[in-house]
Amino acid sequence: MVATVEQLAALVRGRLVGDGRVAIRAARPVAEAGPGDITFIENERFTKLLRSSPASAAIVGPHFRVGASELGQRLAVIEVDDPMAAFLAVRSHLHDTQRPRWSGIHPQAWVAPTARIGQDVAVYPFAFVGDEAVIGDGSSLHAGAVIGAGCVLGRECTIHPNAVLYPNVTLGDRVEVHAGSVLGGDGFGYRQTHGRHVKIPHTGRLEIGNDVEIGSNCTIDRATFETTRIGEGTKIDNLVMIGHNNQIGRHNLLCGQVGIAGSCQTGDHVIMAGQAGIKDNTRIGAGVIVGAQAGVHRHVPDGQHVLGSPAIPVREQRRLFQMIARLPEMHRQLRELAAQVAALTDAMTLRSDAQSLPGLRPIPESGPTEPGGDLVED
């Protein structure tokens, strides 16, 4: 699709500076954009790239340091409050080449006779839908997806290839589960009886809220007795593990390789960076940020930013990091001080020994010295 800069500015409700008649064919990042493309700048670090870019137009923020007017003398500029959001809208508009969505049940899929399939549902080859499962309108089950007995999927859910929903998992509307993830498996629970680990049956459920996205190869366990819950709007990266009985709040961001042990609770708008680990029975307050590779072993109050293992408030942890960085220098200084102390100790020992020798007296602290040494005979 081709559109003028003026049309694109109207699309994103931005302020146009420069020639609005310029035709735009594609939207590309600033390092890749060429003539006929529109690009964007969200961070001032890319100012130099934009100044030398051969792009025909750019989307910038209202406080862009170079200034839309200066850029507008060379290329058309659209000024908006959120350049990234505007660029995504423009890119979607220019690159809208999606094929019409297929719907139906493929002959090579297996759907239980007691399952209920909504309207405009796509069930691709080798997908499996168990007894009494409910698939909401507009949902898609891709090749190899497994929907266990009694599962309930809301409207417009997407289950990507080889994702598995164990029995009695409930998904809200517009939930997306990427390839290879497993939802509703047994939690890791055992009791030691007579020297053996005896499995605790997990008969609880798993409920996923509206607008949740779950990355590839994630695992979310069902509860032991009640329900594991993932709050609406939460986004889960690849390779995340969420244990049984967890209560994850709304609009959380859980980055790659996060691991949350059983029976934890998070508030709304929590962020956990990559490889963070949470001890079982821990509460993470609303708005908390858990830094990368942090090990959280106790409750974290609302709004804190924690880092390190064991995790502590980020300001304290940064001071510790600074001290650790200084350890080699501190070690060198310590060795020098130890050498100085040893030298002083030797000198004091020598003076003390001299005082104890018969027929010798120490030279006074001040005064003349005689040739041949520090000690003179009486």
Query: Quick one: average pLDDT of 244-248?
Result: 98
Average pLDDT value over all residues in the chain = 90
What per-residue string of b and e applies to 362-374 under the rule 16 or more CB within 10 Å gives b? eeeeeeeeeeeee
Q: Which pLDDT score is estimated for 358?
A: 64
Question: Of 285, 284, 287, 304, which is closest to residue 296 (Cα–Cα)?
Answer: 284
Q: Which pLDDT score is estimated for 322?
A: 87
Label residue 165 by pLDDT band (50, 70, 90).
very high
Q: Per-residue pLDDT tens for 186-232?
A: 999 999 999 999 999 999 999 999 999 999 999 999 999 999 999 99
Dist. CA 40–CA 326, nearest whole Å: 41
Percentage of residues in the chain having pLDDT higher than 70? 91
pLDDT at position 287 over 90: yes
User: With contact defined as beta carbons under 8 Å apart, do 284 and 296 qualify?
Assistant: yes
pLDDT at position 369 over 60: no
pLDDT at position 32 over 70: yes
Query: Quick one: average pLDDT of 256-269?
Result: 97
Looking only at the bridges linking them, the beta strands covering 190-193 and 196-199 are: antiparallel
The catalytic residue positions are: 244
Q: Which pLDDT score is estimated for 58?
A: 92
Label residue 377 by pLDDT band (50, 70, 90).
very low
Q: Which pLDDT score is estimated for 66?
A: 56
Q: Which pLDDT score is estimated for 364?
A: 58
Question: What is the amino acid identity at position 25?
Answer: R
Q: Report residue 318 as tokens.
A: 């940064």
Dist. CA 5–CA 27, nearest whole Å: 11
Question: Of 173, 262, 169, 185, which is closest to residue 217 (Cα–Cα)?
Answer: 185
Q: Which pLDDT score is estimated for 125?
A: 97
Q: Which pLDDT score is estimated for 259?
A: 97
Residue 52, classed as helix, strand or coil, is helix
Question: Of 137, 168, 158, which is closest to residue 211 (Cα–Cα)?
Answer: 158
pLDDT at position 374 over 80: no
